[in-house]
């Protein structure tokens, strides 16, 4: 099952993508995670992407398309995948359709999650991630026992460089201008499923599985 997750920053699509990925047994593919890993590795791609990500702008389409093609053509994607954060504009959506039709495949469903800006700011501004095990915390909704230490492994908790108020606001603006028009793109193809992003993750998982007939 080839799925796309569409949703603003802070809509909780990453959290749900991870849950649905284990429920369906298909890989969770996040270009944001791939790019952050490239930054960590100090690769050429990471070097190029870092200043763009720090501002919350979009990395150029050709680079993203090449990166995603490399990932989607790996063997573990043969049974399906969840794309979390791609496509992010019309050019990427068209590029994805072309890429998939070349592989004799297509997008099956697009799951869209919407939340208020207020909810997005709270989720992103309060987000803390363990630098060792990757566990997610939130100072408002899922606080760690000690403000900067992981409950699970004792690792140091960090804030993502683009989770500051100013950059969050730009990410929301870029989402509205570039990504939200894809709602219409997939709706016209009869592939859009809407889920309330403000619901608890477990409730959203149940809703998503029901909508997908699972």
User: Which residues contribute to the site for Zn ion (CB under 5 A)?
Assistant: 130, 132-133, 135, 150, 152-153, 155
Q: Which stretch binds ligand ADP (CB under 6 A): 26-34, 110-118, 149-157, 200-208?
A: 26-34
* Residue 132 partner contact from Zn ion, ligand ADP, none using kind-dependent CB cut-offs of 5 to 8 Å: Zn ion
Residue number with CB closer to ligand ADP (41 or 206): 41
The reply to whether 9 sits near ligand ADP by the rule CB under 6 A is: yes
Q: Which stretch binds ligand ADP (CB under 6 A): 27-35, 93-101, 135-143, 145-153?
A: 27-35
Q: Which of 211, 117, 132, 212 is nearest to 170 (CA)?
A: 117
Residue number with CB closer to Zn ion (127 or 171): 127
The whole-angstrom separation of Cα 16 and Cα 90 is: 24
The reply to whether 182 sits near ligand ADP by the rule CB under 6 A is: no
Residue number with CB closer to ligand ADP (126 or 149): 126
Looking at 1, 39, 52, 107, which residue binds ligand ADP (CB under 6 A)? 52
64 half-sphere exposure, CB direction, 13 A CA radius: 27
Cβ neighbours around 177 below 10 Å, total: 11
83 half-sphere exposure, CB direction, 13 A CA radius: 27
For the chain, state the CA radius of gyration: 17
Cβ neighbours around 51 below 10 Å, total: 9
The whole-angstrom separation of Cα 149 and Cα 84 is: 27
* Residue 137 partner contact from ligand ADP, Zn ion, none using kind-dependent CB cut-offs of 5 to 8 Å: none
The whole-angstrom separation of Cα 33 and Cα 8 is: 16
Q: How far is the CB of 163 from ligand ADP (least distance, A)?
A: 8
Q: Catalogue the active-site residues.
A: 13, 88, 127, 160, 171
Looking at 28, 71, 88, 123, which residue binds ligand ADP (CB under 6 A)? 88
Q: How far is the CB of 66 from ligand ADP (least distance, A)?
A: 12
Q: Which of 151, 121, 114, 146 is nearest to 136 (CA)?
A: 151
Q: Is the peptide bond before 76 cis (omega within 30 degrees of 0)?
A: no
The reply to whether 56 sits near ligand ADP by the rule CB under 6 A is: yes
């Amino acid at each position: 099952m080839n799925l796309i997750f569409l949703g603003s920053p802070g809509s909780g699509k990453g959290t749900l993508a991870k849950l649905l990925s284990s429920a369906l047994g298909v890989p969770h593919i996040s270009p944001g995670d791939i790019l952050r890993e490239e930054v960590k590795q100090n690769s050429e791609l990471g070097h190029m992407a870092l200043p763009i990500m720090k501002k919350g702008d979009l990395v150029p389409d050709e680079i993203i398309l090449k990166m995603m093609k490399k990932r989607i053509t790996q063997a573990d994607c043969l049974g399906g995948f969840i794309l979390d954060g791609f496509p992010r504009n019309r050019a990427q959506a068209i590029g994805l359709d072309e890429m998939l039709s070349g592989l004799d495949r297509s997008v099956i469903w697009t799951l869209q999650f919407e939340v208020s800006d207020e909810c997005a700011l709270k989720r992103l501004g309060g987000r803390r991630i363990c630098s060792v095990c990757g566990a997610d915390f939130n100072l408002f909704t899922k606080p760690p026992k000690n403000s900067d230490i992981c409950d699970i492994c004792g690792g140091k908790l960090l804030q993502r460089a683009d989770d500051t108020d100013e950059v969050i606001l730009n990410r929301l603006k870029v989402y509205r201008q570039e990504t939200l028009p894809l709602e219409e793109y997939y709706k016209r193809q009869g592939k859009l499923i809407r889920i309330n992003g403000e619901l608890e993750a477990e409730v959203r998982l149940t809703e998503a599985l029901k909508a997908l007939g699972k």
